[in-house]
Amino acid sequence: MGNIVAIVGRPNVGKSTFFNRLIKRREAIVDAVSGVTRDRHYGKTDWNGREFSIIDTGGYVIGSDDVFEKEIDKQVELAIDEADAIIFMVDVETGITGMDEDVANLLRKVKKPVFLVVNKVDNNKRSEDAVEFYSLGLGNYYTIASINGSGTGDLLDAVVEALPEKEESEEEELPRFAVVGRPNAGKSSFINALIGEDRYIVTDIAGTTRDSIDTKYNRFGFEFNLVDTAGIRRKSKVKEDLEFYSVMRSVRAIEHADVCLLVMDATRGFDGQVQNIFWLAERNRKGIVILVNKWDLVEKDNHTVKDYEKLIRKEIEPFTDVPIVFISVLNKQRIFKAIETAVEVYKNRSKRIKTSVLNDTFLPIIEKNPPPAYKGKYVKIKYIMQLPTPQPQFAFFCNLPQYVKEPYKRFLENQLRDHFNFTGVPVSVYMRKK
């Protein structure tokens, strides 16, 4: 199971800038307006060979009358509860504020590694000013400048060292199919219908589910673990932000899955929350099957299925080679088709192509459709092999790998899909120096 690190602190201390630097892409919005990080942002990074997920939370504000900021506070508390380690970021420019002290009071009660990080320290004078943060009572601190990355190496060394090792159990050797999706989409009902018993509590209240539970399942002569981001939600957690909680559980389930069955509500559409979970699975290079539940509630004609599929595929471009199954858990329509499809996707993800077959297939295609010349230089691809990874990754060896651009890599990926069937599985194409 992957580790999770949460970045917390009051507004405007530079959390989003730090997050963006860690995941090496600009996903979080960086702005000097309080509360701009309205949506939680999730990314995966690695340091010294150790992968972990990063959560950029909203700014923590205690005692605010603003409803939105109160929701952020709840989400920050939940992130702290779920994370394996917490980075508490403060700002050397403003010094210690009342809000910093409020967060520190919260974190002193946490029985997890907490790293006090003083941001915007980019000269000796600011290094001296940072000493005042000892008074927060959280021990030693780390000074960084997230805008240019200064000091982040030492911080990440300490974070990675403090992350707990995740134990592997015997059951985890079986393939894992994770049932994920936004609250109240029908995840638990789907599993209940499959196993023929009410193992999971199902109500019409979003967020009844709490903890992920594994069920061994055998269908079509194939045994696997069926994982629901499910369980019983404690009464003390009734005030949780359920949308955020759904994604938190999905992060953990997706990281440890082989195939993700993304259950969505047909009456709500492929909205932002569903898309967020889809791209989490794609970025983690997992197999994906989209299950459109409650299809019985949709008014249909001869074109409804095609039109609905077209809308979904538009949202998931360029990764459109994903199976979409229209189901009704209530009426048990196509629920076994969903599992059969997931098994096929798992087999696609585990597929190994012989090097001789790859080269016999691709070298003629490449000769007929070579990479475009760049600055008068011609790229010659001479050899192809599949890398020994759990998911499909292919190395194309050539003389000038730096001149092969994304459109041609996509062409190669599409050819791989056309010839070897990797439906439902992200495929990675790498250019290597021969």
Cα 29 to chain centroid distance, Å, stands at 18
Would the annotation count 119 as a binding residue? yes
15 is in an annotated binding site: yes
Does 421 appear as a known binding residue?
no
**Buried b or exposed e, range 369-395, using 16+ CB within 10 angstroms:** eebeeeeeeebebeebebeeeebbebb
Q: Is 9 annotated as a binding residue?
A: yes
**14: annotated binding-site residue?**
yes
Determine whether the annotation assigns residue 214 to a binding site.
no
122 is in an annotated binding site: yes
Q: Is 376 annotated as a binding-site member?
A: no
Distance in angstroms (rounded) separating the CA atoms of residues 46 and 293: 35
Q: Report whether 219 belongs to an annotated binding site.
A: no
**312 belongs to an annotated ligand binding site:** no
Consult the annotation and say whether 57 binds a ligand. yes
Rg (the chain; Cα; Å): 24
37 marked among binding-site residues: no
185 labeled binding residue: yes
Instruction: Please count the helices (runs of H) and the strands (runs of E) in the chain.
Output: 12, 15
48 is in an annotated binding site: no
424 is in an annotated binding site: no
59 is in an annotated binding site: yes
The identity of residue 68, as a single letter, is: F
187 is in an annotated binding site: yes
Whether 382 has a binding-site annotation, put simply, is: no
Q: Is 43 annotated as a binding residue?
A: no
Q: In the 8-state DSSP scheme, what is residue 96? A: -
| CB proximity list for 64: less than 8 A, separation 6 or greater | 70, 73
Buried b (16+ CB within 10 A) or exposed e, 168-192: eeeeeebbbbbbbbbbbbbbbbbbb
Secondary structure of residue 273 in the 3-state scheme: helix
State yes or no: 16 annotated in a binding site.
yes
Residues whose CB falls within 8 Å of the CB of residue 153, separated by 6 or more in sequence, listed in order:
none
- Is 11 marked as binding a ligand? yes
Residue 62 is encoded by which pair of tokens?
């205690």
Say whether 182 counts as a known binding-site residue.
yes
Q: Where are the beta strands (DSSP E) in 77-210?
A: 85-91, 114-119, 141-143, 176-180
Does the annotation place 404 within a ligand binding site?
Answer: no
Residue indicated by tokens 């673990």? 225
230 annotated to bind ligand:
yes
Sheet containing strand 393-398, edge to edge, reads 381-386, 393-398, 428-433
258, 286 Cβ separation under 8 angstroms? yes
Tell me whether residue 186 is annotated as binding: yes
Has 228 been labeled as part of a binding site?
yes
* Rounded distance between C-alpha atoms, residue 371 and residue 152, angstroms: 39
Binding-site residue ranges: 9-16, 56-60, 119-122, 181-188, 228-232, 293-296
Binding-site residue ranges for GTP: 9-16, 56-60, 119-122, 181-188, 228-232, 293-296
